[in-house]
């Protein structure tokens, strides 16, 4: 019996070895939410999958549904954040923090294209623009606010609402966040703490 192949974009959040050359992955996908999936022989040097399944990589990934788990059949890398931001570790860390928050707060397989787009467009904005250290911190705050709001852990108050209501990314929004960052950080930390209760 042929298995149906599902293909979607996904960020590889983490990987764990099992067996001699196999890996088990956590992937935040556009169409299926957080997916736990295995890939065989991916640690072998000849494996074609390994480039598309590096941690912090955005790839087009094909899955088949096994009896007990998803299995990865192909992974075509679109953007490796380690490589993309090799010359700017601060930009990489903002992206890594966002994906770490996704890993912590997203419970499982539930489609959330809005959240995926928040992250992907945020990363594109970071890639295409130059920032002062303060502006980059403010950009990270906007992304974190949008993530916790999307997942229902934060209801926007009047001073922070514009950063959530305006869905695009622009420098004016970042500059405005410079004035609200203390409040934003407090609210983000409170939301994360509440999510762990």
Residue 132: count other Cβ atoms within 10 Å of its Cβ. 10
User: What is the per-residue pLDDT across 57-98, written as a single tens digit (0 to 9) for each?
Assistant: 999 999 998 888 899 999 999 999 999 999 999 999 999 999
Q: Contact, 70 vs 35, CB < 8 A?
A: yes
Contacts for 156 with CB less than 8 Å, ≥ 6 apart: 145, 149, 163, 164, 165
| Burial class of residue 193, CB neighbours in 10 A (0-12, 13-18, 19+) | exposed
pTM for the model: 0.91
Q: Residue 14 has what pLDDT? A: 93
Confidence of residue 117 (pLDDT cuts 50, 70, 90): very high
In the chain, pLDDT over 90 holds for what percent of residues? 70
Start-end of CATH 2.40.50.140 domains in the chain: 5-81
| Burial class of residue 182, CB neighbours in 10 A (0-12, 13-18, 19+) | exposed
Q: Contact, 188 vs 148, CB < 8 A?
A: yes
CATH of domain 5-81: 2.40.50.140
User: What is the per-residue pLDDT across 131-168, written as a single tens digit (0 to 9) for each?
Assistant: 999 999 999 999 999 999 999 988 877 789 999 988 89
Segment 108-128 shows an average pLDDT of 95
């Amino acid at each position: 019996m042929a298995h149906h192949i599902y293909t979607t974009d996904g960020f590889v959040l983490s990987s764990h070895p099992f067996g001699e050359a196999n890996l088990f992955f956590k992937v935040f996908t556009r169409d299926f939410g957080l997916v736990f999936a295995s890939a065989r022989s991916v640690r072998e040097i000849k494996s074609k999958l390994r480039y598309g399944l590096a941690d912090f990589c955005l790839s087009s990934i094909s899955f088949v549904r096994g009896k007990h788990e998803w299995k990865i059949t192909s992974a075509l890398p679109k953007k490796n954040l380690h490589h993309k931001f090799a010359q700017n570790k601060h930009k990489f860390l903002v992206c890594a923090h966002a994906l770490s928050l996704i890993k912590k707060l997203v419970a499982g397989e539930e489609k959330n294209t809005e959240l995926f787009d928040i992250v992907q467009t945020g990363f594109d904005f970071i890639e295409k623009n130059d920032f002062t250290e303060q502006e980059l911190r403010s950009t990270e705050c906007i992304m974190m606010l949008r993530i916790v709001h999307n997942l229902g852990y934060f209801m926007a108050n009047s001073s922070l609402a514009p950063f959530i209501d305006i869905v695009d990314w622009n420098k004016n929004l970042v500059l405005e966040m410079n004035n609200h960052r203390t409040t934003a950080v407090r609210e983000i930390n409170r939301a994360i703490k509440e999510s762990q209760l």
